[in-house]
Amino acid sequence: MSNLAFLGLGVMGYPMAGHLQAAGHSVCVYNRTAAKATKWVEEHGGTQASTPREAAAGADMVMACVGNDDDLRSVCLGEDGAFAGMKSGALFVDHTTVSAKVTAELYAAAKAAGLNFVDAPVSGGQAGAENGQLSVMCGGDQDAYDAAEPVMNTYAKLCRRIGESGAGQVTKMCNQIAIAGLVQGLSEALHFAEKAGLDGRAVTEVISQGAAGSWQMSNRYETMLDDHFEHGFAVDWMRKDLGICLDTANENGASLPVTALVDQFYKDVQKMGGGRWDTSSLFKRLRKLG
């Protein structure tokens, strides 16, 4: 088993790090709010560190799952960053959803420091992290990925290298683009059913078994109809991700009209006070519009 470090104990990182410790690895955790790291150690064992550099010292692999580009830079770079503490040849695996730009920057910085770097954003939400059923999409050197895959499989149902550095992040953008359109379509279908005086549950039971079926429909339609939106990935984070998608589309020339429109719908949800609601709250927006 390996000596590992895990940086960032949010709704995703907390259970992911727990799976690693339960699998027999020796895990040292770091979290910006130290009390959460203390709680994790009390629950799972392992150790905690006061800085990313301290957590990374002596580790074979360092995983991170933090908030955004700036958060990732802060745990990687600088005097107290993980890169400063990692031993030569060690591997950094980034599970954060960030821009391909910061991935390129950190890949280059890692190489210059004699380290390996794999971008490995995940999909599957909090439930996927807790159940060890995440999809992990990776970019980076083949040998680095080969070293990381057996460890990532601890919390993954599918782990795949898509291509060179940055390919994982671009694949995650594809994931968020697809989800945005699906959730809006589902919201409109349920809203239409309500306006037509139909039983939304009965309608969904039927259409979910055909071509309209999706993970979102199977797992979110009941909570949407019940006006409950505390079940996963928050609107604030989705807007961050869609912003990355739209910025990248401006650079590579892709046309994302539906994504741009749904991003504005999520902006409306934020104005309703729903920044921390889950992404299925697009339905709540339609209900408010009448």
**Residue 27: which of 251, 248, 15 has the closest Cα?**
15
The question of whether 172 is a catalytic residue gets the answer yes
Tokens of 263: 């991003």
DSSP, residue by residue, 198-216: --HHHHHHHHTTTTT--HH
- DSSP summary character for residue 279: G
What angle, 0 to 180 degrees and rounded to 10, lies between the N-to-C axes of helices 167-195 and 200-207? 130
Picking from 185, 207, 203, the residue whose alpha carbon sits closest to that of residue 194 is: 203
Tokens of 146: 């080969």
DSSP 8-class letter at 86: P
* HSE-CB of 178 using CA atoms within 13 angstroms: 10
Q: Contact at 8 Å (CB) between 188 and 207?
A: no
- Which CA distances in Å does 181 have to 128, 184, 268, 274? 21, 5, 16, 19
Catalytic residue among 36, 101, 172, 267: 172
For residue 142, give every residue at least 6 positions away whose Cβ sits within 8 Å of its Cβ, in sequence order, or none.
Answer: 161
7 three-class SS: strand
Give backbone dihedrals phi and psi of 241, rounded to 5 degrees, phi first: -65, -45
Q: In the chain, what are the helix, strand and coil shares in percent, each to the nearest 5? A: 55, 15, 30
Catalytic residue set: 172
